[in-house]
């Protein structure tokens, strides 16, 4: 189940917009603060926060059918 979840999550992350994917990965995978991610992305921390929020919402929507199917 964990392997399948990882594959589904990876596929869903690839479907995010470039900005959402970058912000999400920098903040949640690489552990950068919003301010640090903003420095890398060349934008304001509020913009990064918005991209991360939208990425999470998009990931939830993309993964919901799979999670429902798996009974999770």
Q: For residue 69, what pLDDT is reported?
A: 82
Give the pLDDT confidence score for residue 70 in this predicted structure: 76
CA 12, 14, 17, 21 torsion: positive or negative?
A: positive
Once rounded to an integer, what is the mean pLDDT over residues 61-72? 84
Cβ(67)–Cβ(52) under 8 Å?
Answer: no
pLDDT computed for residue 66 by the predictor = 83
pLDDT digit string, tens, across residues 5-57: 899 999 999 999 999 999 999 999 999 999 999 999 999 999 999 999 999 99
Give dist(CA 44, CA 34) in Å, integer.
9
């Amino acid at each position: 189940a964990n392997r399948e979840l990882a594959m589904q999550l990876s596929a869903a992350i690839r479907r995010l917009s470039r900005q959402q994917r970058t912000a999400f990965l920098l903040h949640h995978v690489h552990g950068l603060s919003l301010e640090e991610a903003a420095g890398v992305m060349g934008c304001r921390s509020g913009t990064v926060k918005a991209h991360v929020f939208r990425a999470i919402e998009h990931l939830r929507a993309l993964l919901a059918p799979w999670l429902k199917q798996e009974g999770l």
